[in-house]
């Protein structure tokens, strides 16, 4: 199943040799082929244009499905009780910050070493959050996919969905690794995580 954006770009270039040439080999540490990386970068532009709204959707869905995470965000727990979560400036700021982190991760997919450095560092910083556990990262997976689908609408094809699934899993695996490796370096025992 090919990426529609690749086909469109290739037809606009009108160079048959570009179409027929196999893509350069990707980094074996990445779950994405170069073609899939191209597709997510093209698709991600649609999300980036609505980054704040997508981030808010992600967090609303995250808290709906994992109310236990609200204890990590004291401000958000109060807002949820008062029904003000959707219009919260604090939620908007935090959601946008998280989406920018995902943006940096996605933009660095073409350079796996830079990706690992960045995403694992972000994972390690979560030791500063009281009560945070490595498995909390995995709770973002489904809300992220739902938020991407909401934002992209009919552009969220089965092919794009599969690429987003591979991408978010790769990001979350490396957030967990950064968190756990940092805990070992700081003398903490790594926690078992779900996958």
The model's pTM is 0.80
pLDDT at 73: 79
Contact by Cβ (8 Å): 36, 169: no
The rounded distance, in Å, linking the Cα atoms of 158 and 6 is 15
Say if 153 falls within a structural domain: yes
Position 35 pLDDT exceeds 70? yes
| Exposed/middle/buried for residue 165 (C-beta within 10 Å: 0-12, 13-18, 19+) | middle
Q: What is the CATH number of the domain that holds 130?
A: 1.10.490.10
Position 13 pLDDT exceeds 60? no
The rounded distance, in Å, linking the Cα atoms of 47 and 154 is 13
Lowest-confidence segment of 24-33, 35-44, 59-68, 169-178 by average pLDDT: 24-33
Tell me how many domains the chain contains: 1
**Which structural domain, as residue segments, surrounds residue 56?**
34-183
Say if 22 falls within a structural domain: no
- Residue 79: φ, ψ to 5°: -65, -40
pLDDT at 29: 95
Q: Which tokens in the block code for residue 70?
A: 């609200």
């Amino acid at each position: 199943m090919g990426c529609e954006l690749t086909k469109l770009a290739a037809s606009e270039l009108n160079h048959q040799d570009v179409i027929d040439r196999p893509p350069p080999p990707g980094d074996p540490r990445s779950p994405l082929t170069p073609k899939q990386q191209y597709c997510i970068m093209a698709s991600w532009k649609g999300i980036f244009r609505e980054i704040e709204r997508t981030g808010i959707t992600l967090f609303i869905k995250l808290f709906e499905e994992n109310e236990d995470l609200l204890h990590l965000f004291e401000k958000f727990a109060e807002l949820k009780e008062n029904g003000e979560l959707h219009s919260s400036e604090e939620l908007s700021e935090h959601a946008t910050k998280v989406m920018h982190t995902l943006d940096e991760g996605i933009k660095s997919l073409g350079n796996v070493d830079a990706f690992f450095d960045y995403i694992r560092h972000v994972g390690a910083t979560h030791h500063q959050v009281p009560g945070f556990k490595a498995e909390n990262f995995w709770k973002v997976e489904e809300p992220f996919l739902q938020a991407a689908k909401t934002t992209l609408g009919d552009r969220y094809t089965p092919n794009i969905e599969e690429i987003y699934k591979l991408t978010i899993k790769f990001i979350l695996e490396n957030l967990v690794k950064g968190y756990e490796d940092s805990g070992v370096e700081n003398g903490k025992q790594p926690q078992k995580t779900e996958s």
